[in-house]
Amino acid sequence: MRETISIAPPVVSVIIPVKNCRQYIDQAVQSVLSQSYQDFELIVVDDGSDDDDYTRLMSVDPRVKVIRLAGFGVSRARNVGMGIALGKYMAFLDADDVWFPGKLEAQVNYFDSHPEVGVVFGGFIRWLPEDNGSFRPATELMNFVPRDTGCDPDRSGWLYLRLMNGLLVGMNTAVIRRSIYESIGGFNESMRQAEDYDFWLKASRLMQMHSLAGPVALYRIHSASAMHRLASESGLASLLRSARLRWGLSQSDGQTMSVHQFSQRLGSVYFDHGYSHYWQGSLAVAHKAFAHSIGHRYRVVKSFAYLAMICALVLKRKIFQKIHIGG
């Protein structure tokens, strides 16, 4: 009788969505393959790229899988990756970012010691370009993450209200238990912004989320980064309102947020939205956002000052147009 060999699934499934990122993805992949913790699979989801054949990555290491999609967006790409993942834990990395050495081992070790925790994340360092557009070598910015790293108590526990109030969970730093994915069902593919924020809010209602003490990844800032993409409507404000309607302003440990505090949070979101659009030149969007921040009584004087500057700029443009047409 022939003996059957059972191959155990990997402990961690690492998911990297990619869309036209040939310039950076090899560095991202290498930062995973060189981790001290090696019991993982690496799922690269190519979301309709036309700059490279990413199946070449499968020849680098047998643990690498490459899935090809037709350009449905990063949420679909992550969902497809999670849908085929075999691991007990799921980790995320964007194709232009890199992990610190020791990151994965520290997080798996933390999960083993804290069964009450559903998400383990960490800080990240913004990786800014030099004046010539190039990036400093990652090795000059990274530190090894010790396997016995403790948590940051100010960013750990039941985090729903902290998230509502602006706590940032870097996608490229996070590892989740499979049960979180099975309960949530992945990222909301209908959202074009703040879909990761939405995911973490949902996760924060299920289990505690803990942050390791210190940075665990580099977040590359360039023209295609999410931080540089602005929408005319504040998706974050809509998401916060939706969360309040669905879950209220309290969390499992009994902590609460007052209606005034929530209003101030919304005001800050609108103010930041207006500020970004003002300096980008989208004056109509900025005007609407600053009006909302005033409505929430947030930085009223400064919001009125920006509204005055917007009105002056609009008037100046109209005068210039009249002179130009008349000439």
Domain residues of the chain, as ranges? 12-228, 258-326
pLDDT at 280: 92
pLDDT at 1: 47
pLDDT band at 319 (very low <50, low <70, confident <90, very high): confident
Which CATH number is associated with domain 12-228? 3.90.550.10
- Check whether 6 has a pLDDT greater than 60: no
Do 197 and 239 contact (CB within 8 A), yes or no? yes
Distance in angstroms (rounded) separating the CA atoms of residues 287 and 19: 34
Angle between helices 300-326 and 283-295 (to 10 degrees): 150
pLDDT at 2: 55
Strand order across the beta sheet in which 175-177 lies: 64-69, 40-47, 12-18, 89-92, 175-177, 117-127, 208-220, 98-99
- Long-range contacts of residues 63-66, Cβ cutoff 8 Å, at least 24 apart: 63/10, 63/33, 64/29, 65/41
pLDDT band at 57 (very low <50, low <70, confident <90, very high): very high
pLDDT band at 231 (very low <50, low <70, confident <90, very high): confident
Mean pLDDT computed over every residue of the chain: 93
Least confident stretch, 27-36, 110-119, 135-144: 135-144
How far, in whole angstroms, is CA 255 from its chain's centroid?
Answer: 25
Mean pLDDT along residues 5-10: 78
- Check whether 156 has a pLDDT greater than 60: yes
Distance in angstroms (rounded) separating the CA atoms of residues 46 and 207: 31
- Check whether 222 has a pLDDT greater than 90: no
Tokens of residue 133, six digits: 């557009």
DSSP 157: B
Least confident stretch, 73-77, 232-236, 298-302, 305-309: 232-236
For residue range 175-194, what is the model confidence (pLDDT) as tens digits?
Answer: 999 999 999 999 999 988 88
Distance in angstroms (rounded) separating the CA atoms of residues 211 and 166: 15
pLDDT at 89: 98
For residue range 245-297, what is the model confidence (pLDDT) as tens digits?
Answer: 999 999 999 999 999 999 999 999 999 999 999 999 999 999 999 999 999 99
Distance in angstroms (rounded) separating the CA atoms of residues 109 and 3: 34
- 306 HSE (CA, 13 A, CB side): 28
Tokens of residue 315, six digits: 């008037």
Distance in angstroms (rounded) separating the CA atoms of residues 197 and 239: 8
pLDDT at 326: 58
pLDDT at 325: 64
Q: Which DSSP string do the residues of 132-194 spell out, in sequence order?
A: TS-B--GGGT-----TT--B-GGG-BS-HHHHHTT----GGG-EEEHHHHHHH-S--TT-SSS
The residue ranking higher by pLDDT, 327 or 87, is 87
Q: By percentage, how much of the chain surpasses pLDDT 90?
A: 86
- Check whether 160 has a pLDDT greater than 50: yes
For residue range 190-212, what is the model confidence (pLDDT) as tens digits?
Answer: 988 889 999 999 999 999 999 99
Mean pLDDT along residues 80-104: 98
pLDDT at 229: 59
For 24, phi then psi, to 5°, come to: -120, -20
State the pTM of this model.
0.91
Mean pLDDT along residues 124-133: 92
